[in-house]
Amino acid sequence: MIMSIKKLMEIDSRYLYLVMLILVSIPIIQPLGLPIRPSDYAIKVYNFIESLPPESVVVIDAAQTAGYGAELQTQYVVILKHVLKKDLKLIIVSFSAEGPMLVDMAYEGGIISGKPVDPAKYGDVYGEDYVYLGYIPGGETAFVSFARDCWMTKTDASGTPLEELPIMQYCKTAEDWNVIIAFTGGNHEQRIAQWYNAYLVPLIFGVPGVSAPRMYSYMASGQVYSMLSSLIGAAEYEILTNEIGLAAALMDVLNLGQLCVVAAVIIGNLGYIVTRIRGGK
């Protein structure tokens, strides 16, 4: 018995990978429709955006990357739809090199975006209700620069001078912002420092799962208003805004994948305990 448990403990990892792949592929072939319940954090973000007065300036930092695409891009799309629905002034800017490609993908639709987002469907006009300023390199230096002068790019992403875009009259410096929503996998502390701590602008993050643990201490101290965490945050927000999309469709796979890890931990520890009790190493 000990030998078979030992063999099980020393099984080639590739068999584990195969079992995991088969299990997480099941919901793609046969969706399970497992329930999703919005968390307090997603509800807080939703209520905040709902409570913004008309013509409030919402700045979105679309700093998502392809690697975190399934997490950040789904969050970006659902928040974008929510903000476009309301009578708000939306300024989109990217502080990551891939941001512009993914901002375009949101409008065109794509493998990590789901269906295309059409601002005209919500009655929004480019240049009056929303604008995309393009990519600004430089990390924290760029955060400082943009907060001090939102017109630093001189033109929007397609080359139109900012003077010709009426929406930019609402946004000259960070003091004009009502909220900033940043979708990013890194540089969170730098954004908190240069936006929240410097200007006390409410800051909402869309983060990948790997970055979420760091945000709890900042939310506890009030430096971050709230966050959407990973694909689950996007799915919860889709439920809240009634815009069911890609995130909700992927949740079954995510659920099963996590349960696979829990099962692996429990089986691994059971084997370890049994081996220890019966005198093995």
Judged by CB under 8 A, the residue of 116, 123, 137, 166 near another protein is 137
Judged by CB under 8 A, the residue of 111, 164, 172, 278 near another protein is 111
The span of 42-50, 56-64, 83-91, 140-148 binding another protein (CB under 8 A) equals: 140-148
Helix (H) or strand (E) run with residue 194 in it? none
| 6 binds another protein per the rule CB under 8 A | no
- Whether the Cβ atoms of residue 269 and residue 44 lie closer than 8 Å to each other: no
| 24 binds another protein per the rule CB under 8 A | yes
Question: CA 69: distance to chain centroid?
Answer: 9
The span of 31-39, 42-50, 52-60, 121-129 binding another protein (CB under 8 A) equals: 31-39
Classify residue 145 as exposed, middle or buried by CB count within 10 Å of its CB (0-12, 13-18, 19+).
middle
User: CA of 226: how far to CAs of 76, 129, 203, 207, 220, in Å?
Assistant: 15, 25, 7, 11, 10
| 110 binds another protein per the rule CB under 8 A | yes
CA angle 222, 189, 191 (to 5 degrees): 90
| 165 binds another protein per the rule CB under 8 A | no
CB of 167 to another protein, least distance (A): 18
| 2 binds another protein per the rule CB under 8 A | no
* Sites for another protein among residues 203-232 (CB under 8 A): 208-210, 212-214, 216-223, 229-232
Nearest one of 101, 115, 110 to 62, comparing CA atoms = 101
